[in-house]
Amino acid sequence: MNIIVAGIGNLLMGDDGLGIHAIHAMKEAPRISGITILDVGTSALAVAADLAQADYLLFIDAIHAGGQPGVVHQFSGDRIAPPKSPRSLHEYGVSHVLAQMDSVHRPREIIVVGLEPGALDFGMNLSDPVAQALPALVEAAWQIVNRWRSLPVHNPRRHVDQLQESIP
């Protein structure tokens, strides 16, 4: 089983970097076989092919849902709206990565978890409400990963890949 946890965001823009802060906190835990924790930053499109190889994919990012700063949000990757045309490469995000994945090379489950941001100004510090909520976000991420780890190992995608290779 291949689980990828991908932190998204820009560390130089305050709470926009909360996905990276969460990833760094997760990397402090002992390494677990089958789990890859990636600091994607603002380069989500550059690692899209790697992310597509996951059996389960968890994105951690700032989520603008109109709530109070620091509120934890979680939803299925299937609920992400199709991407808008970005103005620069730095605007490629989760929706763009998911649009690049075809149905054969798409993880079995994709979840996005994050916090409502407060301050998106220049600076590397998180706002107080987001910094205080970061441990809850990291705990939510570990709960998702542990749920996936408890599932039986079964990946029909790998079988489809093997069938395609055997067709002359």
Contact 59, 112 (CB under 8 A): yes
The pLDDT tens digits for 33-75 are 889 999 988 777 677 778 888 899 999 999 888 999 999 999 8
pTM for the predicted model, two decimal places: 0.81
Joined together, the tokens standing for residue 84 give 């808008």
Cα–Cα distance, 12 to 31 (Å, whole number): 27
Exposure of 55 in the CB half-sphere (CA atoms within 13 A) = 17
- Residue among 21, 52, 31 at smallest CA distance from 138: 21
Average pLDDT over residues 132-158: 87
The pLDDT tens digits for 13-32 are 999 999 999 999 999 988 88
Contact 143, 111 (CB under 8 A): no
Cα–Cα distance, 56 to 110 (Å, whole number): 6
H or E segment at 3? strand 3-8
Cα–Cα distance, 35 to 33 (Å, whole number): 6
Chain centroid offset of residue 14 CA = 18
**55 CB neighbour count, 10 Å cutoff:** 19
Q: What is the percent of the chain with per-residue pLDDT over 70, rounded to a whole number?
A: 74
Handedness of CA 124, 112, 37, 70 (dihedral sign): positive
3-state secondary structure of 87: coil
Contact 148, 1 (CB under 8 A): yes
